[in-house]
Amino acid sequence: MKKISVSFFALLFFVTGFSQDGYKCYPTHWWTGMKWNNVQVMVHGDAIANAAKGYTINYAGVKLVKTNKVENPNYVFLDLAIAPSCKPGTVKIKVNKANSSFDIPFEIKARRSGNGSSYAQGVTSKDFMYLIMPDRFSNGDESNDRVPGMRDQTLNRDTVFNRHGGDLKGIENKLDYLQSLGVTALWLNPVIENDMDNRTEHGYAFTNHYKVDPRLGGDKAYHELVDAAHKKGMKMIQDAVYNHVGIYHFTVTDPPMKDWLHQWPSYTQTNYKDQTLFDPYASKADYKVMADGWFVPLMPDMNHANPYVANFLIQHALWTVEEFGIDGWRIDTYAYNDLPFMNRCNKALEDEYPKLTMFGETWVHGVPNQSYFSQNNYNIPFKSNLQAPTDFQTLWAITDVMTKDFGWTDGINKMYTALAQDFVYKDPMRNVIFLDNHDIARFYSVVNEDVEKYKTAINWLLTCRGVPQFYYGGEIGMTGTTSPNDGYVRQDFIGGWKEDKTNKFTAEGRNAKENEIWNHVSTLAKYRKNSSAITTGKMMQFVPQDGVYVYFRYDDKQTVMVVMNTSKETKTIDLKRFAERTNGFSKMKNINTGATTELKEIKLDTYRSNVFELIK
């Protein structure tokens, strides 16, 4: 976006002012038996801090420890201690004014059952994760396509700039389809209210943390989707955004205090230079611009050094896991957050939910850069506790493999080198690997819709170490690039709307090429699900020669061999070179075709690959 020069308070004149319709608590409620039992409740409402005689609570097991008044009298922050003996019920927060008093209800609930088995399960290398942009996947409830009172009233599928009407019910309706593909976990782009005035399809500009966007179906639809997924043995990953909010968030239109956000004399955008965070020679000024600059003008940057902001965000994360039963977090724009704050937030979640997983968007260039933001083996002053990054380095590598000629550092050698540097990660099996997502060109377009190249890349995705993530529609070869706009990689999944003339969710609705890709993904994904070698085994790669790359996934039960030809001519590959892993086996089964042959040599056309299970 074009840079603008505007002060924070001047910026407020461009947005709608605060409209009071009652006093609200954030979090909206809490639970008994939580490890996080010292809860800071933000109470928001007209002049709430002006209660002359203060605030009182009379509820067994709940103690008002401290009342915190801040710059804006429309806020008061109440520190509550919730004892282990506390019973579920409604706490009455009594606001004692000079001549009258009134109560604000705050509910204490019983915790959900099944922690670690039915929710907060985390995703692992055993999973196949599927990324969905809800507005563009399937419309299951037309009654919420437009919601009166919300700023964005567009509904036009003929342009990528407007809303299209997809929702959570639409996703719930397609769970059987996703299971038939081999999917075990869903990651949705943000579902939280995004009451902005345009480009609201992506959801990354929150306006109320404690409200699921009603155009997606609201809290009820999200509860129903998560519960339905869990009943089918599937997991749910929520997209977290800690770095920024939307310009219409209530804490921006009516800020609790000036330093709730990062302030600058004039609008200052981040420099996007992640290197400044670990560069031993970095300028402090450059560091500050990277860490505290705003991502874009319409997404104000939150000040994590402010303890009230930190509590607000950490408690919301804990609240969301308990309220909806999600299994993990994908954390947006990880490098732009205050990293010590992120360590605190990650630890709070892990302490409460030991199996919960978190992976952060690390859109950077270079293995050292990427590994800095996750658990690593470096002896450096700052140590991140993030479990895993989104592995952009292997994405750049597989892109080179499919688009550049073989060379000493180019083509398949870039993949070999990227994986050879896995020693920097504490556990590279947790890295999330992918071919594309909602921000970058669809990989089928990257390879110029070459089906064989695409299938080769899919073979890599579903057999390499890590947690594979697939972007919706990739299984039918959806296309799109970010030029001229990222909306073009966010097209509708045809068949998700009742007016669609074809239904790509069915084999009958797909053409031959689409079914070829779909079947390729499904066959390998289902095999992968039951393959101990791929999901939990070790990896061994051999130095690429003349564009040929061979690697193995193996354990004491199974050996899987992947053979890839990235040269421009057909290759006959003698397998004797790989005796270190093939000794003791006599046959190999082609997982892609089902054919079993002798373990001797393989003939592969250009940019082809095969996945084999070795047989004794």
Structure tokens at 477: 């070869």
Q: Strands 38-44 and 208-212: what pairing?
A: unpaired
Whether residue 332 lies in the annotated active site: yes
Q: Which of 299, 332, 32 is nearest to 190 (CA)?
A: 332
Whether residue 452 lies in the annotated active site: no
Amino acid of residue 199: R
Classify 409 as helix, strand or coil.
Answer: coil
Classify 274 as helix, strand or coil.
Answer: helix
Q: Are 347 and 318 in contact (CB under 8 A)?
A: no
Q: Which of 302, 194, 192 is nearest to 251 (CA)?
A: 302
Q: Are 171 and 134 in contact (CB under 8 A)?
A: yes
**Cα–Cα–Cα angle for 162, 166, 171, rounded to 5 degrees:** 155
User: Rounded CA gap, 517 and 601, in Å?
Assistant: 26
Catalytic residue, chosen from 127, 167, 338, 361, is: 361
- Percentages helix, strand, coil for the chain (3-state, rounded to 5) are 30, 25, 45
User: Rounded CA gap, 381 and 389, in Å?
Assistant: 19
What is the maximum alpha-carbon separation in the chain?
A: 92
Q: Which of 533, 593, 615, 535 is nearest to 604 (CA)?
A: 593
Rg (CA), the chain: 26
- 84: phi > 0 → left, psi -120 to 50 → alpha, else beta; which? alpha
User: Rounded CA gap, 601 and 245, in Å?
Assistant: 56
Name every residue whose Cβ is closer than 8 Å to that of residue 576 and which is 6 or more positions away in sequence: none
Catalytic residue, chosen from 332, 338, 391, 436, is: 332
Q: Catalytic site residues?
A: 332, 361
